[in-house]
Amino acid sequence: MGSARRSTRGQLVLAVLLCTAGAALALYASSKSWAVDVTPRPAPLEPVRTARTGADFVPVVPALALISLAGAGALVATRRIGRLLVGILLVLAGLGVAAGAGYGLNAAAGDPGATGPGWAITALVGGLLVAVVGYLAVRRGRSWPTMGSRYERPAGPPRRVDADDDPSKVWDALDAGDDPTNR
């Protein structure tokens, strides 16, 4: 039993790390120059060079990468159906990043000032990594451990305590969820 629990915990940790890495990779790659526009000017002036980032080519890539980054944290914080929905969202966001990076790769390739496909391919790999993690969350996420209920409010109505009670009782009531000042 302990080995299976460690295995599922390891899967969750690996999924969160890979999702974070994929999203960060796509976000970083979209901030880099994918092409340089050269605008000629009359002599003796030098031409104006304007770098165009991946976010300039495809603005949806960094937005979906940020959603994927948030999804990595949501994998830890959700349970059952919530984790399934997060997994589906990660698949869609990852495929969106990959599709946007593919489109940007194609657009940059047709641009005479393209600096090379490196950053677009990096964003594409990051998006595919997020999509794979989302797929794994959909397939295996229900078996992954969830956060404990330690910080959840206890069931039932909270015990009522007056503010003039013993201070230790007031603190115990606050710990139980009752606020004696809110009456």
First to last CA, the chain: 48
Model confidence at 142, pLDDT cuts 50, 70, 90, reads confident
The answer to whether residues 119 and 157 belong to one domain is no
For residue 75, is it within any domain? yes
pLDDT at 165 over 80: no
The answer to whether residues 166 and 115 belong to one domain is no
pLDDT number for residue 6: 64
The answer to whether residues 97 and 161 belong to one domain is no
The answer to whether residues 29 and 105 belong to one domain is yes
Lowest mean pLDDT across 20-24, 140-144, 169-173: 169-173
The answer to whether residues 98 and 166 belong to one domain is no
DSSP-assigned letters across all residues of 33-97? EEEEEEE--STTSPPEEEEEEHHHH-THHHHHHHHHHHHHHHHHH--HHHHHHHHHHHHHHHHHH
For residue 31, is it within any domain? yes
SS3 call for 113: coil
pLDDT number for residue 79: 83
Tokens of 147: 């956060």
Q: Which of 64, 44, 67, 46 is nearest to 54 (CA)?
A: 64
The answer to whether residues 80 and 170 belong to one domain is no
The answer to whether residues 158 and 133 belong to one domain is no
* Number of neighbours of residue 110 by Cβ within 10 angstroms: 8
State how far the Cα of 180 lies from the Cα of 153, in Å rounded to an integer.
16
The answer to whether residues 124 and 37 belong to one domain is yes
State how far the Cα of 44 lies from the Cα of 41, in Å rounded to an integer.
8
The answer to whether residues 11 and 82 belong to one domain is yes
The answer to whether residues 106 and 177 belong to one domain is no
Pairing of strands 33-39, 48-53: antiparallel
Tokens of 120: 């677009």
Give the structural domain span for 133: 2-41+50-143
pLDDT number for residue 61: 93
The answer to whether residues 126 and 161 belong to one domain is no
Q: Is 156 left (phi over 0), alpha (psi -120 to 50) or beta?
A: left
pTM over 0.85: no
For residue 148, is it within any domain? no
For residue 103, is it within any domain? yes
The answer to whether residues 137 and 165 belong to one domain is no
Q: Which residues pair with 183 in a beta bridge?
A: none
Model confidence pLDDT, tens digit, residues 102-138: 888 787 666 665 666 788 899 999 999 999 999 999 9
Number of compact structural domains in the chain: 2
For residue 133, is it within any domain? yes
